[in-house]
Amino acid sequence: MAEKLFDRLRAACAEDWRAYVEHEFVRQLGDGSLPDACFRHYLCQDYLFLIHFARAYALAAYKSQELDDIRQAAAGLAAITDLEMGLHVEFCAGWGLDEAAMQALPEAEETMAYTRYVLEKGLSGDLLDLHVALAPCVIGYGEIGRNLAGKTVGNPYAKWIEMYASDDYQEVAAGAADQLDSLYERRAGEGRWPEMVKTFGQATRLEVAFWEMGLKMGG
């Protein structure tokens, strides 16, 4: 079986990838020691982040020329609006923030940098460019969820871990990896590899910056 494109990209950006999935923020999520203020700041910003990622999946549907690609975009959009954002709203309600208040929060620089980068890649490139930029988030959170799956007992962030470790989210992540393979086969050759590595690496580093934001600005 041919190596999956996602695995090749992850290996090509191995140092950045480890910095992302093994970040101190992730470690503290896993052992429950993350300060509440850090998680609150991260989650509120992630809610705003997800609004723009939902736009990116809507853009993916628009850029798609085949029905299967449209269905995959719809699945990604539904995972954001029906699965991820629901958990964010639930957490924030416990802090006295309703959804209108969440939407009115100012975006952090890290939120703007990451989301606008992904949207720009989608607007200026094709569907493959967009999905390579999306991959570190959608597939990476699935990997983090699997890594933390056994660390929920007594953990105040158990619901977050359980969502990303869930079968529903793992199916979304696996579907995103499969679609990368399909798009690469249909739309690309090895001549596009250097640019894909560049995009994947940049998006992964923006994920690291997003974790850093949670630690730095939430404390």
What are the residue numbers of the active site?
137, 207
- Residue-wise DSSP of the chain: -PPPHHHHHHHHTHHHHHHHHT-HHHHHHHHT-S-HHHHHHHHHHHHHHHHHHHHHHHHHHHH--SHHHHHHHHHHHHIIIIIIHHHHHHHHHHTT--HHHHHTSPPPHHHHHHHHHHHHHHHHS-HHHHHHHHHHHHHHHHHHHHHHTT--TT-TTHHHHHHHHSHHHHHHHHHHHHHHHHHHHHH--GGGHHHHHHHHHHHHHHHHHHHHHHHHHH-
